[in-house]
Every structure is written in structure tokens, then in C-alpha cells.
Amino acid sequence: MLKQLRNKKTAKKIWIVLAIIILPAFILWGSDSIIKNKGEPGYVGSIFGKRITITQYKDALDATRNQMIIQYGEDLAEIQKNINLESMAWERILLLSEANKRKITVEDKEIVDQIQGYPFFQRKGKFDNTIYDQMMQYVFRTQPRIFEEQTRENLKLSKLFKDVTREVKLSEKGIADSYRKSNEQVSLYYIVSQYSDFQKEINPFEGGLRDYFSKNSLKFKQPLSFNLEYVTLAAEGQDENVIKERIKKISARLGKNADFDKIAKELGLTSKETGFFGQADAIPGIGWSPQILALVSKAKVKEVLPFIYSDKDHYIIRLKERKEPAIPYYEEVKDKVRESFVREQAEDLAKKKIENCLKKLKEEYKIHPKVVNFEKTAKNFGLRTNYTDLFKYGSYIEGVGASDTFWTIAQNLKEEEFSDVIYMPSGFYIIKLKSRVAVDENKFNAEKTDFSEKLLDQKRTEVFYAFVLELKKKAQLF
């Protein structure tokens, strides 16, 4: 129980590596907020063939929530809208399993030092037992013994991170190139050709649209879709045994031909219906769930799925209807056919216009670089020109989008040179350098140490990210 913690004096302040480096990446990775029970009472799933109990999962969920409190404090309520605690709990279980395989251990003294180092447990720079007990009771709502074991696990994960990333190194060239990418600014002239500029020139006739549909019918194929009926049982704040009993009662009465809505009402619940949704869609009323979709795709109509468990809700779901993939009749999708046809034709026209413009620019450039009139040549082909303000790699260019492609190509352009045609989601472009603000070498040398440390953390996180993705694939945690 680490009773000695209550009597220890101030320890060196240590910020937990896990909170700073590992967990922010989990927010992006997430797998799914719904956990399925495979028909085995008391179990919510398995990792590498080892069954995970409801208790194990809830312990991981509590530990994950406490880690978020440590990391975000009073901002957690807002940030929690954008994170997936349930999926993070599964990742925690997975990574702890890997840490145990590697025989990673944590001494009691490390836990003492870690907890004493948290500033929110201190008064006047020293660990305060009263503050600690109060925060356990009112903020974390966790027994000290459990919090201390959660801290042991956190430190295990921190050591796992270090173990996986210990070989990550930076070269001098890599540091210099990354600094330049983060700090060098360029501004550009550009010619743009967007499909929307030429849509009005496309006037399809009925026969042409039917012919287009005939040749591209698979493009309009409607996917496998489902309609579910379900009831929700709130899990938060409810007694687990009571919930289990209610689930058993409902499941026992829901046969293939049972009236789902009637039974729900008799049990004081409200049944809901999702309406049809495709395999790649979020489930209306429930949310994005690859795991539910995996169950539904194998289920028969009127079949009740194994109950679905999440942090806040339990779901009992039955497949009400199923539509197989099918190519619709032309009349059913003719508006979509017209929209697709016009877009493709306009995009082809936009591409041809700018390719012809590029050809002309190259002819002029061969005569003499100074002869090239960027704006005039573009206008002769019905294209627009514009220019950007100074921007850095990773910024946003108004009307264009992400700057990464433009910035990277601009690095190889000399004065008066222009690029080949660049395809962007917003259209086709030709760019030309307007100005460049190079890196200040004195500033680079002054900031190099701090920059290198941040870059190294970033590289380590990328390596760990790839490691976790591979681990999740092996464990089928998706």
C-alpha cells in the first residue's frame, strides 16, 4: 500500500513522461468506444487470446480517467469531448501487457517520488498528506492504494516508451533541415485552374448521362446497409449487478419474432431505431463503431447481438433490416450521375487548360526567363492568378489549403523559375517564387539545443506511434 508515502518528505519534482508524451498520441489513435462481450459472462474481450474481465477493463478505464485529470486538470471537461477514454483504456491494457512481457518493473520508491513530485499534492513546495487525501476523495474519487498502483502502471508505461525509443537518434543534417522547415518562409505567385471555374461550360444531355451511368455504374453502387433497433441502459453511476440482471431479463425475452418496442416499454425502457446506414458510416444515435459493424455484418435479420458495453452506456441491439449491396436504377440516382459527370468533365477541362498554359510558359522561358509574363499567359487560357503572403511549412493558405506541398516544391525553385502542374484538392496550380526569408543562422545556433530536444521527443513519439499501431494489429485491437 506504500504506507511510507504518507510520512515521506519533499521529493524532487518529476513530471510524468507518460502524460506529456504518450497519452496525447492516444487521443489521435483511438480504436472504438464500444466494447463487445463475446457471449462469455464477465468478460468484455480478449488481447492475444487472454480474456479481459469487466473488472480489469473498468480498472483501466478509471486509471485512464485519473491520468487525464493529472494531465488536463480543470480543462478536462472541455477536452473530454474530443477524446475516447474507452479506447484509451484498451490501449492501456495492451501496453501494460507488453510491459509485463518485457519484465519491466517499478520500485516502491519510484512511486513515492512520483506522487510527491506532483505540485497539486504540495503546500509551499512540500508534499502535504491532507491535500493528498482530500484530492483522492473529492477530485480523483479513488482510494490512495489504488491510485498508487495506477501510478506504478503509469511508470511502467513510461519505461516501455523509453525502451521502445531508446535507439532514436538525430543527425546534424536532420536537425538543420527540420529547423529550416519550421522557420523558413516563402511567398509565391500562382496560377490556379479549378473545376468549379468551368462547370458552367459543361451541359450534359440525357443520352450522354445514361451512357456515362452505364459505363460507371459501379461508382453509384449502394453499399451494404443496416437498420438497427436498440435500447440504452445508462452505466454511469449504476450498480453493475442491477444492470446485468436487467440485461438478462431483456435478452431472455427478445426472440426472433418478439416485439422489440413492446418488450422495452414493459421493462421501462425506450427503444430506438437507427434507420439505414452503410458499413463505413457512423451509427445514428450511437456513433462510429467498427466493432458493432463487425457484429452486425455477420448477423441475421431479427438476431439480437451480444450486449455492447461502454463507459457510459450499455446497448442491447437487434438487426431489424439489412440491404445487400446493389446498383440502383438510373432514375434513382440521376442527380448524382449528373453531378459526377459535370465534375469529371469540368476537372478534365481545368487540367487541360493549365497543362496548355504550362506548355506556353515553357516556350516563353526558353526564349528568355525575363520574357515570361505569368499573369498575361494565364489570362490567355482563361485562368486566374494570385499570390500568397509569406508562409511557413504546415500553415494554411487562404483559398488553397495546406501549405506543405507548395512550400516543399518552392525549395527547388530559383528566381524566375516556375513549377510543373501541381494537383491539390482545391484545384490545379503552377507556382513561382515571389520572395524567401531564409533561416537566421545565429538564431538557429542559439535555439538549436532546445529545438533538438523537442524534435527528438517528436521522433520518439512517431516511433512509438508506429510500435503501438503494429501491436494493435497483432492483438486485433481495432
**Both 213 and 269 in a single domain?**
no
The 3-state secondary structure of the chain, one letter per residue: CCHHHHHCCCCCCCCCHHHHHHHHHHHHHCCCCCEECCCCCCEEEEECCEEEEHHHHHHHHHHHHHHHHHHHHHHHHHHHHHCCHHHHHHHHHHHHHHHHHCCCCCCHHHHHHHHHHCHHHEECCEECHHHHHHHHHHHHCCCHHHHHHHHHHHHHHHHHHHHHHCCCCCCHHHHHHHHHHHHCEEEEEEEEECHHHCHHHCCCCHHHHHHHHHHCHHHHCECCEEEEEEEEEECCCCCHHHHHHHHHHHHHHCCCCCCHHHHHHHCCCCCEECCCEECCCCECCCECCHHHHHHHHHCCCCCECCCEECCCEEEEEEEEEEECCECCCHHHHHHHHHHHHHHHHHHHHHHHHHHHHHHHHHHHHHHCHHHCCHHHHHHHCCCEEEECCCECCCCEECCCEECHHHHHHHCCCCCCCECCCEEECCEEEEEEEEEEECCCHHHHHHHHHHHHHHHHHHHHHHHHHHHHHHHHHHHCCC
Confidence of residue 13 (pLDDT cuts 50, 70, 90): very low
The whole-number pLDDT of residue 55 equals: 86
pLDDT category of residue 169 using cuts at 50, 70 and 90: very high
Residue whose cell numbers read 487540367: 351
Is residue 35 located within the same domain as residue 156? yes
pLDDT: which is higher, 94 or 78:
94
Q: 42 versus 307: which is more confidently predicted?
A: 307
Residue ending a domain, among 303, 323, 343, is 323
Least confident residue range of 200-214, 296-310, 380-394, 395-409: 296-310
Q: Is residue 452 part of a domain?
A: no
Residue partners of 213: CB distance under 8 A and separation at least 6: 220, 330, 333, 334, 337
Q: Model confidence over 79-92: pLDDT tens digits? A: 777 777 888 898 99
Last residue of a domain, one of 323, 352, 370: 323
The number of folded domains in the chain is: 3
**Greater pLDDT, 159 or 43:** 159
Give the whole-number percent of the chain exceeding pLDDT 70: 88
Question: Considering only 40-44, 66-70, 263-267, 369-373, which range has the smallest mean pLDDT?
Answer: 40-44
Say yes or no: 227 and 214 in one domain.
Answer: no
Is 0.75 surpassed by the pTM of this model? Answer: no
Last residue of a domain, one of 323, 352, 368: 323
| Residue 174 in domain | no
Tens digits of residue pLDDT in 447-472 = 999 999 999 999 999 999 999 999 98
* 298 and 389 belong to one structural domain: no
How many Cβ atoms sit within 10 Å of the Cβ of residue 66? Answer: 20
Q: Classify the C-alpha dihedral 431-433-437-441 as positive or negative.
A: positive
Residue 450 counted as domain residue: no
Average pLDDT, the chain: 85
Give the pLDDT confidence score for residue 185 in this predicted structure: 96
177 in any annotated domain: no
**Residue 366 pLDDT more than 70?**
yes
Rounded-to-integer distance, Cα 399 and Cα 30, Å? 31
What average pLDDT does this structure show over 32-43? Answer: 44
Distance in angstroms (rounded) separating the CA atoms of residues 449 and 357: 47
Query: Tell me, what CATH number does 425's domain have?
Result: 3.10.50
More confident residue, 311 or 325: 325
Q: How confident is the model at residue 238 (pLDDT cuts 50, 70, 90)?
A: low
Do both 13 and 117 map to the same domain? yes
Give yes or no: residues 312 and 203 share one domain.
no
Residue 261 pLDDT:
85
Whether pLDDT at 139 is above 70:
yes
Distant-in-sequence, close-in-space partners of 397: CB < 8 Å, separation ≥ 6: 388, 391, 403, 406
Question: Is 178 inside a domain boundary?
Answer: no
User: Domain for residue 447, yes or no?
Assistant: no
> Does 213 share its domain with 239?
no
Examine the domain organization and report whether 18 and 139 are in the same domain: yes
pLDDT tens by residue, 279-316: 888 899 888 777 788 788 888 998 888 777 665 677 88
What confidence score (pLDDT) does residue 237 get?
58
State whether 27 and 142 are in the same domain: yes
In a domain, 281, yes or no: yes
Whether residue 201 is contained in a domain is answered as yes
User: Are residues 112 and 20 located together in one domain of the fold?
Assistant: yes
**CATH number for the domain including 232?**
3.10.50.40
Please compute the mean of the pLDDT values over residues 144-161 and round it to a whole number: 96
Distance between CA atoms of 386 and 136, rounded to whole angstroms?
59
Q: Is the pLDDT of residue 264 over 80?
A: yes
Looking at the structure, tell me whether residues 272 and 372 fall in a common domain. Answer: no
Are 152 and 10 within one domain? yes
Q: What is the pLDDT of residue 98?
A: 95
Q: Is the pLDDT of residue 220 over 90?
A: yes
- Segment 399-405 shows an average pLDDT of 92
Range of the domain at 10: 3-167+459-475
